[in-house]
Amino acid sequence: MGKIVAGIDIGGTNTVIGLVTSQGECLVERTIRTKGEGGFINYILRIVDSVNALSEELGSEYRLEAVGIGAPNGSYNLGAIVDAPNLAWKGILPICSEMESRLNVPVILTNDANAAAVGEMLFGAAKGMKNFIIITLGTGLGSGIVTDGKLVLGHDGFAGELGHTTVDPNGRKCGCGKLGCLETYVSAPGIRRTIFELLASSIEPSSLRSFTYNDLSAKIISQKALEGDSIAREAFERTGEILGLKLADAVATLSPEAIFLFGGLSKAGDLIFEPTRRSMESNLFPIYRNKVKILPSGLQDKNVAVLGAAALGWQHLNL
Amino acid sequence: MGKIVAGIDIGGTNTVIGLVTSQGECLVERTIRTKGEGGFINYILRIVDSVNALSEELGSEYRLEAVGIGAPNGSYNLGAIVDAPNLAWKGILPICSEMESRLNVPVILTNDANAAAVGEMLFGAAKGMKNFIIITLGTGLGSGIVTDGKLVLGHDGFAGELGHTTVDPNGRKCGCGKLGCLETYVSAPGIRRTIFELLASSIEPSSLRSFTYNDLSAKIISQKALEGDSIAREAFERTGEILGLKLADAVATLSPEAIFLFGGLSKAGDLIFEPTRRSMESNLFPIYRNKVKILPSGLQDKNVAVLGAAALGWQHLNL
């Protein structure tokens, strides 16, 4: 009988559940609504039902051995989701114990970016690496850190929030309440803010002058940059400069072998990688220079959230 | 027969060798010149002779089980000192293998700040902690990082150079060649530079106006601050602000339980701790607030370099 692990990606709107082999192949998958009738326990029951239904679908050839969950504000140490801003249920949600008692397998939880890091290590481009960082560039900037082959969780299980390191203590207002956090510059909304700053400060013609703030996406900015729009190119340049500066800080702290960029903005390829590499190198303490690779994730086109969550479960089984 | 570990602190001028118990008690110690007749192997022989002489001094009641070395640019991974700027011998010095073959015990090497971190964990105020950072404030700013009970070494063994994270990419020239490194602001020379900046920009009377740059030490600045000199107080305030800002970045990366300050500047007590705590808290991502202690080292008045080096050896034996 083959072993299988469930990977569960909890988002504010949907929850995706997949059954994943030790080779990182997702054999079956389904999506349920995160919000729904009833309270948190009802949500747990709907997940459990889905895991059981997917297991039946696979047949008796496979046996479920563990569950891994990636969730916003998921605490590995507590096995609970703590005050997630985008979920309907507040406070501390003990999701691991509630699922363990119903599925009778170990259930491991962490946040999305940490799960992505474990996914990259087990199934992606970080295979065989023991010291690396993954940066997820989406509506925010998330990060997962691996040192000596293990996820850095820290004292409270919440390590790895590089998106909230400070670029400028008098800088842009961040959703977290602080000023000048990295993710206010380097993320999909961050580059949009940079575009609007550039449109305001320069008088250069740009096709971006015909977009509203609400309509302007990172994808459009990438397209315009590729078409040669100088404002869009300058925005990528500045975004990479700031990312590289803060990655140099991360290197001085952790000395990783590689840093992986994942998600939305990273799909812009050289537009973002090139200025990031250049800026990081020029801000590195000399002993680190020309040693640290900045690479695209190896799971770019896959469901990294489900694979990462499943990788957590697989890592737990193999420890 | 009791076990004993040799702790060796290699400095540019002197090398201190002590034999240390598992409880962190240094029973015998001697100091030799680092520079001397002959080359690197001659230096190794002089250390080995000293270790043997100290062992004889202790008598047959103790047996040497390991050697720990703290040295500038000491690489744990390589077991070698690499291009240390303040040593006479250049290139890669394979100190561990050279000593192992002569003493027939394991020899473990790392840099001074990393050794201090292990010393703090085994013998100091970090006993029982699994996630913490130690900051050594001297002529530079060194750091040692422990996560999940283990020293963070990184891919090349050189992790933990918080002194070379960037405060201002257009800031003060650093000895490493970069601009605006943390240690150009937060270290004994750093606060002196801040004093001279303040003496230049303000017109306030200050007893510090009668000191030359060469004569002004961190100790004098502390004394003047305690006597109420407003320039000296402002310099501590700014130093703490910058340290707190960068410690908040370190917390967002590592989520430690505590951060220990050690050495020269940290002896100024509240003058430096108070603004550092205030600035760190105000720059922390909300989930970390009121959780992370900033504490003085528990080994402040002891020979932390020898104890830290010995702790490395003890940690190796207990793994």
Q: What is the pLDDT of residue B302?
A: 77
Task: Sort out which chain A residues have CB atoms less than 8 A from B283's CB and list them.
Answer: 166, 169, 178
To the nearest whole percent, how much of chain B has pLDDT over 90? 84
Nearest to A287 among B158, B283, B286 (CB): B158
For residue B247, give Cα distances in angstroms to B145, B166, B182.
12, 12, 10
Q: Is the dihedral of CA B118, A287, A265, B283 positive or negative?
A: positive
Q: What is the pLDDT of residue B139?
A: 87
- For A106-146, the pLDDT digits (tens) are 999 999 899 999 999 999 999 999 999 999 998 899 999 99
The pLDDT mean for chain A works out to 94
pLDDT over 80 (residue A96): yes
Residue B4, phi then psi, degrees to nearest 5: -140, 150
Report the alpha-carbon distance of residue B217 to residue B223 in Å, rounded: 10
Report the alpha-carbon distance of residue B289 to residue B285 in Å, rounded: 7
Residue B16 per-residue DSSP state? E
- The model carries a pTM of 0.93
Going by C-alpha positions, the residue among B48, B2, B5 that lies closest to residue B311 is B5
- Per the CB < 8 A criterion, the answer to whether B36 and B42 are in contact is yes
Report the alpha-carbon distance of residue B183 to residue B189 in Å, rounded: 8
Q: What is the pLDDT of residue A301?
A: 73
With CA atoms as reference, the chain B residue closest to A279 would be: B169
pLDDT over 90 (residue B284): yes
Report the alpha-carbon distance of residue A253 to residue A247 in Å, rounded: 10
Tokens (6 digits) for B231:
């320039």
Q: What is the pLDDT of residue B88?
A: 84
The pLDDT mean for chain B works out to 94
Q: Is B231 helix (H, G, I), strand (E, B) or coil?
A: helix
- Per the CB < 8 A criterion, the answer to whether A132 and A143 are in contact is no
Tally the C-alpha atoms within 13 A of residue A36's C-alpha that lie toward its C-beta: 14
pLDDT over 90 (residue A29): yes
At A300, is the pLDDT very low, low, confident or very high (cuts 50, 70, 90)? Answer: confident
pLDDT over 90 (residue A243): yes
Number of neighbouring beta carbons within 10 Å of residue A69: 29
Looking at beta carbons, which pairs linking B126-129 to residues 24 or more positions away fall under 8 Å?
B126/B258, B126/B260, B126/B298, B127/B298, B129/B257, B129/B258
Q: What is the pLDDT of residue A202?
A: 96
| Phi-psi label, residue A271: left if phi above 0, alpha if psi -120 to 50, beta otherwise | alpha
Residues A256, B165: C-beta atoms closer than 8 Å: no
pLDDT over 90 (residue B314): yes
- For chain A, the residues whose C-beta falls within 8 A of a C-beta of chain B are 73, 82, 130-131, 145, 147-148, 150, 152-162, 164-166, 169, 176-178, 181, 245, 248-250, 252-257, 283, 285-288, 291-292
Closest Cα of chain B to A251: distance in Å? 8
Q: Is A216 helix (H, G, I), strand (E, B) or coil?
A: coil
| CA-angle at B144, arms to B139 and B147, nearest 5° | 165
- Per the CB < 8 A criterion, the answer to whether B112 and B136 are in contact is yes
Closest Cα of chain A to B60: distance in Å? 39
Average pLDDT over residues B168-179: 95
Task: Sort out which chain A residues have CB atoms less than 8 A from B157's CB and list them.
Answer: 255
**Does the ipTM exceed 0.90?**
yes
Report the alpha-carbon distance of residue B115 to residue A62 in Å, rounded: 49
- For chain B, the residues whose C-beta falls within 8 A of a C-beta of chain A are 73, 82, 130-131, 145, 147-148, 150, 152-162, 164-166, 169, 176-178, 181, 245, 248-250, 252-257, 283, 285-288, 291-292
- For A246-296, the pLDDT digits (tens) are 999 999 999 999 999 998 899 899 999 999 999 999 999 998 999 999 999
To the nearest whole percent, how much of chain A has pLDDT over 90? 83
Quickly tell me which residue has 């737990």 as its tokens.
A316
Report the alpha-carbon distance of residue A178 to residue B216 in Å, rounded: 37
Q: Which domains does chain B have, with CATH numbers?
A: 2-111 (3.30.420.40), 125-296 (3.30.420.40)
- Which helix (H) or strand (E) segment holds residue B258: the answer is strand B258-262
Residues B283, A169: C-beta atoms closer than 8 Å: yes
Report the alpha-carbon distance of residue B107 to residue B66 in Å, rounded: 6
Q: What is the pLDDT of residue B63?
A: 95
Residue A55, phi then psi, degrees to nearest 5: -65, -40
Residues A248, B166: C-beta atoms closer than 8 Å: yes
- Per the CB < 8 A criterion, the answer to whether A75 and A109 are in contact is yes
Report the alpha-carbon distance of residue B40 to residue B24 in Å, rounded: 29
Q: What is the pLDDT of residue B45?
A: 95
- Per the CB < 8 A criterion, the answer to whether B265 and B242 are in contact is no
Q: What is the pLDDT of residue A27?
A: 95
Q: What is the pLDDT of residue B304?
A: 86
Q: What is the pLDDT of residue A248?
A: 98
